[in-house]
A and B are shown apart, each in its own frame.
Chain A
Amino acid sequence: MASLSLSFPLYSALDLSERRRQPPAARGLRSGSCPIFAVNREVLIPLEKPIGYTGADPYKISSTSDPLMAGELFGGHQSPSVNPRVTWEGCSVLLDINDGDRLVFARLSPAANLKIGDKKCSLRPLIGCPFGSQFRVEMGPNGPYLERCIHRPTLAANDMAVREKGNEQVESESKDNRALVDNNTAQSLSCEDIDAMRRDGATGNEIVEALIANSSTFGMKTVFSQEKYKRKKQKKYAPKVLLRRPFTRSICEAYFKKYPTRIGFLRIDALSLLLSLANISAYSDVLLVDMVGGLLTGAVAERLGGTGYICNTYFGGTSYPLDIARIFNFSSEFDSRIVQAPFSFLCSAENHDEEDRKLHESDQSSGIQSITKKDSLTKCDTSTGSTLVQEEQPLQNDNSSLDEELGNTKETLSSGHEGLHENNASINYKSVNPRKQASSDAIKMWREKGFNSLIVAAPELEVDDIVKKLLPLLSYSAPFAIYHQYLQPLATCMHTLQTSKMAIGLQISEPWLREYQVLPSRSHPQMQMSGFGGYILSGTRICNNSEACNGNQ
């Protein structure tokens, strides 16, 4: 049950509205961090372009809605653990403003606000609404507010009629744009007129209608141009907000569109392939190297559904940022199942305790984790450690305290991370903490049994070396998948694995994704596509141990 009494205001987040403008080379390579790429002089990353949302279907807007009713209509609050389709207070959401023009991750609370254009709107009306609902900015006596648009089948039918008209028109095109001259005189409404309408309380849609009525060229346009014109004006005068579920699909697409470097250019089709090729399934114990900001961790956790375990491993003293995993709405049972461990812990059995102490010390000095938090997390690990071999056992009794602590954890943890979140303090409630250390029981178990899957997404590391190190941690016959932005490191890695006979079924593949515009008599591939989705090396670990597989050598 997620209706929580939060006393502090929450508005979070990560506004992806401004895409960093950088030359492609700079986006792909952070200087100095990837010596291996030096050998790739001839390998160019194809220019990456955003996949646009098709906009193939304009959203319909009606003027009647009652956001307060939404909760009742759709069963009010639901338990977030059962794949909820209605938002709750404290829920993480993706706000899609004007068909993907702006994408904002936010956490819903009565006090949270969102600025759209020059208007600041409360997010309170979004609480208790189904995902997929759409809102429009309206002016009320107390300033701008978000009003829910209710779709009506009749409106959809109207839209259908427009389509059909368009269809006929294409077949026997009677209009074309030859008479349209772009001289800025077509619109007779001035800015002052529009301001005056606003002061008189006109809705956004009324302004759009007025603009159309006062356009001398609108009637001369083809049906499709008319639609385009209308959509453009709606974006400006009646901006809309679509409430999306923060799922792997939407999160990956949002980052890929706005900040591809933060996820190592890992496109949704490549990510999907990694999950399939590594056979991620319920109850799996999955070993990860996630250097794509936590997107991989979140995606794998989503597939595990609160079962199995994710162990993120890292090389050197510092673990990698995993903040994106916090955007997912995972219930508390997920949290105990996402842990991390330095590689040295996973492979060496003996002086673990010694190293553990050292890690504590180094953490303290580098300020990554505070000692108090560390202790409490270790406590919670021990409790999960005991559930490792049994069925999952929700940690309900200490849930509340756990969440609070994770809240604190979050503040400390992400303060160093390149300002990814506008307001760190605001992301906490219910978000997972992917950076807890694995308990020694868990590590011991993994060392004995092996992991069931391995995914490496380390676009900046030399994969050859780390894959050679990680494969022995995988149980026999377990599949693995390695993602890289460059082809050559994977080729080298594949060759190493072939010669060392550690794996079979080795395959390098490159995903390719093309989106289409499908409209009556106007279907074609979209003008823009992403030219680059990275490369994947996949295979299956084999038993090459002469003792275990007697007689095969």
Chain B
Amino acid sequence: MPSLSDGGSVLCFETKERSSSFRGAEGFGEREREIEGFCGIVLKFVIVSMLTIDPSKKNSFQRCIEDGDLVIVYERHDNMKAVKVKKGSELQNRFGVFKHSDWIGKPLGSKVLSNKGGFVYILAPTPELWTCVLSHRTQILYIADISFVISYLEIIPGCLVLESGTGSGSLTTSLARAVAPSGHVHTFDFHEQRAGLARDDFERNGLGSLVTVAVRDIQGEGFPDEFQGTVDSVFLDLPQPWLAIPSAGRMLKQDGVLCSFSPCIEQVQRSCEVLRSDFTDIRTFEVLLRTYEIQEGWIQSATEGNESYRITTHTRRKRQCISSEGNGENTEKASVTSTVMVRPSQEARGHTGYLTFARLICH
């Protein structure tokens, strides 16, 4: 039995690391009972939470890193990692060895040093950061699609939402944030292991009270009848969504919104054909993000004897060197001005999938 010591940090979950590998359905049953038994305590003592379910625990200047917290270790925007803070543990990366005990008591958002003087930042988890660090057990949805889906499905606190499949839980995490504190997300995947791992993730992230994961073949069996006519929004990310659409329609309240995400236009085509019988306002979108990078540079004006127009860019570090040594140079060449320049990033995502939305016809 877990104890209440250690500041009462997420007692139930802490004892079971996800790394303890997958257990069969039996194991989960056991685990659920355990969690159920501690439900009241869990709600009261969750400090490792991505969301502020308990308003007194919300982030503030005073909120410091505590033993048991789930944090995001930030190296660069494209290099982050989720870490559970544990006294006595260490994090090792190319910058050296970081002792967790050095982190405890510092504010979230602090820069922490390794034994070699390297540094990382320790951040509070958010659904956006989670999408960057989660383990990809499937293809996942990213921020552009996720944010659009939440708005277009009209998900607000208190909503009841159905999702299938759960996959890696990237979208589910944002759905949970949107329905909190009083709504609920029921998410279904027919892959038992994935469902289990996703459930573990939600619990570790403090979303256990907002999300229920179930193993079910949604294309074959549809959603459970108990939800009939009670659901505000349904999200489908399935290979043959048209098989699940009739069931989704039965679950929705009138005027409730459905969204189906499909990478291929042929899937969209078939889905739309089925949607037309019970849905209206059927709209298909593609959402992408283009990112930009900035550079500070010196643009030389094309003066006499200087036929070509030159742009010199520097990384920030270089620029600092130059400004400390190169004052003379700058005064010498008065025609050189420093500008912040911006251009689209080299790499961009070209396609993720089509988002098809539809509203249940109001009879």
Contacts and interface: CB of A to CB of B under 8 A. Distances in A.
B156 A57 contact: no
A498 interface: yes
Given A83-B232, A542-B109, A549-B106, A284 B58 contact: yes
Contacts of B289: 273, 509-512
Contact of A491 (B62, B147, B181, B294): B294
Contacts of A213: none
Closest 6 CB pairs of A and B: A305-B157, A132-B255, A476-B109, A477-B109, A449-B60, A132-B362
29 contacts: A83-B232, A163-B273, A247-B156, A248-B151, A268-B148, A268-B151, A269-B287, A277-B147, A279-B177, A282-B157, A303-B157, A305-B157, A449-B61, A449-B62, A476-B109, A476-B110, A477-B124, A490-B342, A505-B77, A509-B291, A509-B292, A510-B292, A515-B284, A518-B272, A518-B284, A540-B74, A540-B109, A541-B109, A552-B119
Contacts of B151: 248-249, 268, 271-272, 275
A268 B152 contact: yes
Contacts, number: 276
Interface residues of B, number: 88
B236 interface: no
Contacts of B121: 504, 542
B113 interface: yes
A302 B59 contact: no
Contacts of B113: 551-552
Contacts of A279: 126-128, 177
B52 A282 contact: yes
Interface residues of A, number: 97
Nearest to A59: B280
A506 B279 CA distance: 41
A68 interface: no
B108 interface: yes
Interface in A252-292: 268-269, 271-273, 275-277, 279, 281-285
Contact of A516 (B60, B279, B284): B284
Contact of B107 (A153, A518, A548): A548
B147 A475 contact: no
A169 B74 CA distance: 58
B24 interface: no
A281 B111 contact: no
B290 interface: yes
A523 interface: yes
Interface string A211-254: 00000000000000000000000000000000001011100000
B354 interface: yes
Interface string B147-162: 1101110101111000
Contact of B291 (A152, A307, A508): A508
A305 B156 contact: yes
B217 interface: no
A476 B107 contact: yes
Interface in B310-363: 316, 340-342, 354, 356, 359-363
Nearest to B272: A518
Nearest to B181: A282
A507 B291 contact: yes
Given A57-B281, A494-B294, 5 more contacts: A132-B360, A268-B148, A283-B55, A479-B128, A520-B273
Given A159-B276, A283-B181, A305 B158 contact: yes
Contacts of A544: 111
Interface in A134-165: 134, 150-153, 156-157, 159-160, 163
B248 interface: no
B209 interface: no
A492 B361 contact: no
A304 B111 contact: no
A414 interface: no
A499 B316 contact: yes
B359 A132 contact: yes
B48 to A, nearest CB: 14
A377 B109 CA distance: 37
Contacts of B282: 54, 56-57, 518
Nearest to A499: B316
A476 B177 contact: no
Nearest to B106: A549
Nearest to B319: A499
Contact of B108 (A132, A273, A281, A476): A476
Among A271, A476, A478, the one with the most B-chain Cβ atoms within 10 Å of its Cβ is A476
Interface in B58-80: 58-63, 74, 77
Contacts of A269: 144, 147-148, 287
Interface string A188-209: 0000000000000000000000
A519 to B, nearest CB: 8
A401 to B, nearest CB: 27
B285 interface: yes
Contact of A552 (B112, B152, B159): B112
B284 A303 contact: no
Interface in B264-319: 265, 268-269, 272-273, 276-294, 296, 316
A388 B62 CA distance: 17
Contacts of B12: none
Given A130-B254, A492-B340, A523-B265, A504 B150 contact: no
Given A284-B58, A476-B107, A504-B74, A513 B287 contact: yes
Nearest to A501: B111
A492 B359 CA distance: 42
A303 to B, nearest CB: 7
A157 B277 contact: yes
Nearest to B281: A57
A131 interface: yes
